[in-house]
Structure 1
Amino acid sequence: MMKPRVMSFCFAGLSLIIAAACSAPPPREASRPAPRTSENYVLTQGQTVTLAPATTLKLERINDSRCKAGAVCVWAGHISYRFVLTDKQGESSFVLAEDMPGAAKSVTKNGLVFTLQGVDPAEPPPLKAPAPDYRVSLRVNIAQPI
Protein backbone atom coordinates (compact mmCIF):
# COMPACT_ATOMS: atom_id res chain seq x y z
CA MET A 1 0.00 0.00 0.00
CA MET A 2 1.22 3.52 -0.83
CA LYS A 3 1.98 5.97 1.90
CA PRO A 4 -0.29 9.06 1.98
CA ARG A 5 2.61 11.38 1.12
CA VAL A 6 3.62 9.36 -1.93
CA MET A 7 -0.02 9.16 -3.02
CA SER A 8 -0.41 12.96 -2.67
CA PHE A 9 2.77 13.49 -4.63
CA CYS A 10 1.51 11.15 -7.40
CA PHE A 11 -1.84 12.96 -7.61
CA ALA A 12 -0.09 16.33 -7.64
CA GLY A 13 2.26 15.17 -10.42
CA LEU A 14 -0.62 13.71 -12.40
CA SER A 15 -2.56 16.97 -12.01
CA LEU A 16 0.38 18.95 -13.36
CA ILE A 17 0.71 16.66 -16.37
CA ILE A 18 -3.02 16.92 -17.15
CA ALA A 19 -2.99 20.70 -16.73
CA ALA A 20 0.04 21.03 -19.01
CA ALA A 21 -1.55 18.82 -21.65
CA CYS A 22 -4.81 20.77 -21.56
CA SER A 23 -3.14 24.17 -21.73
CA ALA A 24 -0.68 23.27 -24.48
CA PRO A 25 -1.45 24.93 -27.82
CA PRO A 26 -2.94 22.64 -30.46
CA PRO A 27 -0.47 21.24 -32.98
CA ARG A 28 0.12 23.63 -35.87
CA GLU A 29 -1.43 22.68 -39.17
CA ALA A 30 0.15 23.72 -42.41
CA SER A 31 -1.28 27.14 -43.15
CA ARG A 32 -3.56 27.08 -46.15
CA PRO A 33 -4.80 30.18 -47.89
CA ALA A 34 -8.54 30.67 -47.70
CA PRO A 35 -10.21 29.55 -50.93
CA ARG A 36 -11.20 32.41 -53.16
CA THR A 37 -14.88 32.79 -53.77
CA SER A 38 -14.56 35.68 -56.18
CA GLU A 39 -11.95 37.68 -58.01
CA ASN A 40 -11.80 40.65 -60.37
CA TYR A 41 -9.80 40.45 -63.59
CA VAL A 42 -8.86 43.03 -66.21
CA LEU A 43 -8.19 41.47 -69.61
CA THR A 44 -7.10 42.67 -73.02
CA GLN A 45 -8.05 40.95 -76.27
CA GLY A 46 -6.19 37.64 -76.58
CA GLN A 47 -5.15 37.54 -72.91
CA THR A 48 -5.60 34.35 -70.86
CA VAL A 49 -5.81 34.12 -67.05
CA THR A 50 -5.72 31.09 -64.77
CA LEU A 51 -8.80 30.93 -62.56
CA ALA A 52 -7.94 27.66 -60.76
CA PRO A 53 -5.73 24.64 -61.42
CA ALA A 54 -6.52 23.43 -64.96
CA THR A 55 -9.08 26.24 -65.44
CA THR A 56 -8.32 29.19 -67.71
CA LEU A 57 -10.29 32.04 -69.24
CA LYS A 58 -9.35 33.81 -72.45
CA LEU A 59 -10.80 37.06 -73.78
CA GLU A 60 -10.92 35.88 -77.36
CA ARG A 61 -12.54 38.81 -79.12
CA ILE A 62 -14.00 42.27 -78.63
CA ASN A 63 -16.64 43.37 -81.12
CA ASP A 64 -17.36 47.10 -81.02
CA SER A 65 -20.15 48.13 -83.40
CA ARG A 66 -21.03 51.28 -81.43
CA CYS A 67 -21.48 54.50 -83.39
CA LYS A 68 -18.07 56.17 -83.58
CA ALA A 69 -17.62 59.70 -82.30
CA GLY A 70 -18.25 62.13 -85.18
CA ALA A 71 -20.22 59.61 -87.27
CA VAL A 72 -23.90 59.75 -88.25
CA CYS A 73 -25.53 56.43 -87.36
CA VAL A 74 -29.04 54.98 -87.58
CA TRP A 75 -28.50 52.91 -84.43
CA ALA A 76 -26.25 53.14 -81.37
CA GLY A 77 -24.66 49.71 -81.79
CA HIS A 78 -23.13 47.70 -78.97
CA ILE A 79 -19.89 46.27 -77.67
CA SER A 80 -19.58 42.58 -76.86
CA TYR A 81 -16.89 40.29 -75.50
CA ARG A 82 -16.34 36.67 -76.47
CA PHE A 83 -14.64 34.50 -73.83
CA VAL A 84 -13.35 30.92 -73.94
CA LEU A 85 -13.38 28.91 -70.70
CA THR A 86 -11.11 25.86 -70.64
CA ASP A 87 -11.37 23.36 -67.79
CA LYS A 88 -11.61 19.62 -67.10
CA GLN A 89 -14.88 19.56 -69.07
CA GLY A 90 -13.18 20.96 -72.19
CA GLU A 91 -13.66 24.32 -73.92
CA SER A 92 -16.80 26.40 -73.89
CA SER A 93 -17.36 29.92 -75.14
CA PHE A 94 -19.77 32.64 -74.14
CA VAL A 95 -20.50 36.28 -74.97
CA LEU A 96 -21.03 39.07 -72.47
CA ALA A 97 -22.54 42.45 -73.36
CA GLU A 98 -24.61 45.10 -71.62
CA ASP A 99 -27.04 46.18 -74.33
CA MET A 100 -26.84 43.51 -77.02
CA PRO A 101 -29.88 41.39 -77.89
CA GLY A 102 -29.28 37.72 -77.10
CA ALA A 103 -26.41 38.44 -74.69
CA ALA A 104 -26.29 39.21 -70.99
CA LYS A 105 -24.05 41.11 -68.62
CA SER A 106 -23.64 37.93 -66.52
CA VAL A 107 -23.51 34.22 -67.30
CA THR A 108 -22.92 31.00 -65.31
CA LYS A 109 -20.64 28.36 -66.83
CA ASN A 110 -19.33 25.19 -65.16
CA GLY A 111 -19.89 26.44 -61.62
CA LEU A 112 -18.51 29.94 -62.24
CA VAL A 113 -20.45 33.18 -62.58
CA PHE A 114 -18.89 35.70 -64.99
CA THR A 115 -20.10 39.29 -64.67
CA LEU A 116 -19.05 42.15 -66.89
CA GLN A 117 -17.90 45.14 -64.84
CA GLY A 118 -16.91 47.59 -67.58
CA VAL A 119 -14.51 48.50 -70.37
CA ASP A 120 -11.80 51.10 -70.76
CA PRO A 121 -12.12 53.26 -72.77
CA ALA A 122 -15.85 53.40 -72.14
CA GLU A 123 -16.65 55.65 -75.10
CA PRO A 124 -16.36 54.59 -78.76
CA PRO A 125 -13.26 55.86 -80.57
CA PRO A 126 -13.45 58.73 -83.10
CA LEU A 127 -14.58 57.90 -86.64
CA LYS A 128 -11.18 57.42 -88.32
CA ALA A 129 -9.16 56.39 -85.25
CA PRO A 130 -7.73 52.89 -84.94
CA ALA A 131 -9.42 50.54 -82.50
CA PRO A 132 -8.23 51.23 -78.97
CA ASP A 133 -6.52 48.69 -76.73
CA TYR A 134 -9.60 47.78 -74.72
CA ARG A 135 -9.29 46.63 -71.11
CA VAL A 136 -12.31 44.61 -69.99
CA SER A 137 -13.13 44.31 -66.27
CA LEU A 138 -14.74 41.04 -65.25
CA ARG A 139 -15.79 39.56 -61.91
CA VAL A 140 -15.67 35.80 -61.48
CA ASN A 141 -17.62 34.21 -58.60
CA ILE A 142 -17.64 30.55 -57.65
CA ALA A 143 -21.23 29.28 -57.78
CA GLN A 144 -20.18 25.72 -56.89
CA PRO A 145 -16.83 23.98 -56.32
CA ILE A 146 -14.78 23.61 -59.50
Structure 2
Amino acid sequence: MDKIRIAGIEEESIVDGPGIRLVVFTQGCKHNCVGCHNPSTHSFNGGSLIEVDNIVKMVKENSLLDGITLSGGEPFEQALECSILARKVKSLGLSVVTYTGYTFEQMLKNKKFRELLLQTDILIDGKFDISKKSMMLQFRGSTNQRIIDVKKYLG
Protein backbone atom coordinates (compact mmCIF):
# COMPACT_ATOMS: atom_id res chain seq x y z
CA MET A 1 0.00 0.00 0.00
CA ASP A 2 1.12 3.54 -0.73
CA LYS A 3 1.95 5.57 2.36
CA ILE A 4 2.67 9.24 3.06
CA ARG A 5 4.71 10.52 6.00
CA ILE A 6 2.54 13.18 7.63
CA ALA A 7 2.74 15.58 10.54
CA GLY A 8 -1.03 15.63 10.86
CA ILE A 9 -4.42 16.12 9.22
CA GLU A 10 -6.93 18.94 9.68
CA GLU A 11 -10.30 17.44 8.81
CA GLU A 12 -12.07 20.71 7.94
CA SER A 13 -10.32 23.97 7.09
CA ILE A 14 -11.58 27.14 5.42
CA VAL A 15 -8.21 28.95 5.37
CA ASP A 16 -6.12 26.54 3.27
CA GLY A 17 -7.80 26.99 -0.08
CA PRO A 18 -11.31 27.64 -1.42
CA GLY A 19 -14.25 25.99 0.30
CA ILE A 20 -14.03 23.37 3.01
CA ARG A 21 -10.88 21.29 2.75
CA LEU A 22 -9.21 18.34 4.38
CA VAL A 23 -5.59 19.40 4.90
CA VAL A 24 -2.75 16.90 4.86
CA PHE A 25 0.38 18.30 6.51
CA THR A 26 3.26 16.33 5.04
CA GLN A 27 6.38 15.69 7.10
CA GLY A 28 9.78 16.81 5.83
CA CYS A 29 10.96 20.10 4.39
CA LYS A 30 14.35 21.34 3.16
CA HIS A 31 13.32 25.01 2.93
CA ASN A 32 13.39 25.76 6.69
CA CYS A 33 11.88 29.22 6.17
CA VAL A 34 12.46 31.65 9.01
CA GLY A 35 9.12 32.22 10.74
CA CYS A 36 7.51 29.07 9.30
CA HIS A 37 4.23 28.37 11.09
CA ASN A 38 4.89 24.60 10.93
CA PRO A 39 8.54 24.16 12.01
CA SER A 40 7.76 20.76 13.55
CA THR A 41 7.20 19.48 10.00
CA HIS A 42 10.79 20.13 8.86
CA SER A 43 12.38 16.88 10.08
CA PHE A 44 12.21 14.02 7.61
CA ASN A 45 12.23 11.56 10.51
CA GLY A 46 9.23 12.94 12.39
CA GLY A 47 5.53 12.42 11.97
CA SER A 48 3.94 9.11 11.11
CA LEU A 49 3.12 7.02 8.07
CA ILE A 50 -0.46 6.79 6.89
CA GLU A 51 -1.89 4.82 4.01
CA VAL A 52 -3.15 6.92 1.12
CA ASP A 53 -6.39 4.94 1.10
CA ASN A 54 -7.05 5.87 4.75
CA ILE A 55 -6.91 9.54 3.78
CA VAL A 56 -9.21 8.90 0.82
CA LYS A 57 -11.63 7.16 3.19
CA MET A 58 -11.67 10.27 5.42
CA VAL A 59 -12.44 12.41 2.36
CA LYS A 60 -15.27 10.10 1.26
CA GLU A 61 -16.82 10.19 4.74
CA ASN A 62 -17.20 14.00 4.69
CA SER A 63 -19.70 15.15 2.05
CA LEU A 64 -19.04 18.81 2.97
CA LEU A 65 -15.52 18.80 1.51
CA ASP A 66 -14.67 20.70 -1.65
CA GLY A 67 -11.28 19.02 -1.83
CA ILE A 68 -7.96 18.47 -0.15
CA THR A 69 -4.98 20.69 0.50
CA LEU A 70 -1.47 19.30 0.56
CA SER A 71 0.68 21.40 2.85
CA GLY A 72 3.68 20.77 4.97
CA GLY A 73 6.38 20.34 5.38
CA GLU A 74 6.93 20.18 1.63
CA PRO A 75 4.49 17.97 -0.33
CA PHE A 76 6.83 17.83 -3.31
CA GLU A 77 9.41 15.97 -1.21
CA GLN A 78 6.88 13.12 -1.40
CA ALA A 79 5.68 13.96 -4.88
CA LEU A 80 4.91 10.40 -5.96
CA GLU A 81 2.87 9.52 -2.87
CA CYS A 82 1.06 12.86 -2.89
CA SER A 83 0.26 12.53 -6.61
CA ILE A 84 -1.35 9.14 -5.94
CA LEU A 85 -3.51 10.70 -3.22
CA ALA A 86 -4.35 13.69 -5.42
CA ARG A 87 -5.37 11.48 -8.34
CA LYS A 88 -7.71 9.45 -6.12
CA VAL A 89 -9.29 12.59 -4.67
CA LYS A 90 -9.76 14.13 -8.11
CA SER A 91 -11.50 10.92 -9.24
CA LEU A 92 -14.13 11.78 -6.59
CA GLY A 93 -14.77 15.11 -8.34
CA LEU A 94 -12.92 17.16 -5.72
CA SER A 95 -10.13 19.70 -6.11
CA VAL A 96 -6.50 19.68 -5.00
CA VAL A 97 -4.59 22.66 -3.62
CA THR A 98 -0.87 22.22 -3.04
CA TYR A 99 1.45 24.47 -1.07
CA THR A 100 5.15 24.49 -1.91
CA GLY A 101 8.27 26.45 -1.08
CA TYR A 102 9.47 25.94 -4.64
CA THR A 103 8.49 28.39 -7.36
CA PHE A 104 6.33 27.27 -10.25
CA GLU A 105 9.26 27.92 -12.58
CA GLN A 106 11.56 25.66 -10.52
CA MET A 107 8.94 22.95 -10.52
CA LEU A 108 8.57 22.95 -14.29
CA LYS A 109 12.27 22.03 -14.54
CA ASN A 110 12.04 19.06 -12.17
CA LYS A 111 10.63 15.89 -13.73
CA LYS A 112 10.01 14.20 -10.36
CA PHE A 113 7.53 16.98 -9.50
CA ARG A 114 5.59 16.72 -12.77
CA GLU A 115 2.86 14.22 -11.81
CA LEU A 116 1.87 16.02 -8.60
CA LEU A 117 1.90 19.33 -10.43
CA LEU A 118 -0.45 17.88 -13.06
CA GLN A 119 -2.83 16.66 -10.32
CA THR A 120 -2.86 20.09 -8.63
CA ASP A 121 -5.63 22.56 -9.43
CA ILE A 122 -4.30 25.49 -7.42
CA LEU A 123 -0.65 25.90 -6.45
CA ILE A 124 0.52 28.26 -3.72
CA ASP A 125 4.20 28.68 -4.54
CA GLY A 126 7.28 30.26 -3.02
CA LYS A 127 9.07 30.15 0.30
CA PHE A 128 7.52 32.02 3.19
CA ASP A 129 9.46 35.29 3.55
CA ILE A 130 9.04 36.82 7.00
CA SER A 131 10.11 40.25 5.69
CA LYS A 132 7.10 40.12 3.33
CA LYS A 133 4.64 38.69 5.84
CA SER A 134 1.08 39.97 5.55
CA MET A 135 -2.04 38.98 7.43
CA MET A 136 -4.15 40.49 4.62
CA LEU A 137 -3.40 37.81 2.02
CA GLN A 138 -5.85 35.08 1.12
CA PHE A 139 -4.35 31.59 1.52
CA ARG A 140 -0.76 32.92 1.73
CA GLY A 141 1.62 34.14 4.41
CA SER A 142 3.90 36.50 2.48
CA THR A 143 3.52 38.73 -0.57
CA ASN A 144 6.10 36.83 -2.64
CA GLN A 145 3.91 33.74 -2.64
CA ARG A 146 1.54 33.32 -5.58
CA ILE A 147 -1.78 31.60 -6.19
CA ILE A 148 -1.45 29.79 -9.51
CA ASP A 149 -4.23 28.17 -11.53
CA VAL A 150 -2.12 25.23 -12.73
CA LYS A 151 -4.57 24.10 -15.43
CA LYS A 152 -4.45 27.57 -17.01
CA TYR A 153 -0.72 27.15 -17.60
CA LEU A 154 -0.39 23.43 -18.20
CA GLY A 155 -3.75 22.82 -19.87
Using structure 2 for the length normalisation, give the TM-score: 0.27
Structure that is richer in helix per residue: 2
Structure that is richer in strand per residue: 1
Using structure 1 for the length normalisation, give the TM-score: 0.28
Instruction: Decide which structure has the larger Cα Rg and report it.
Output: 1
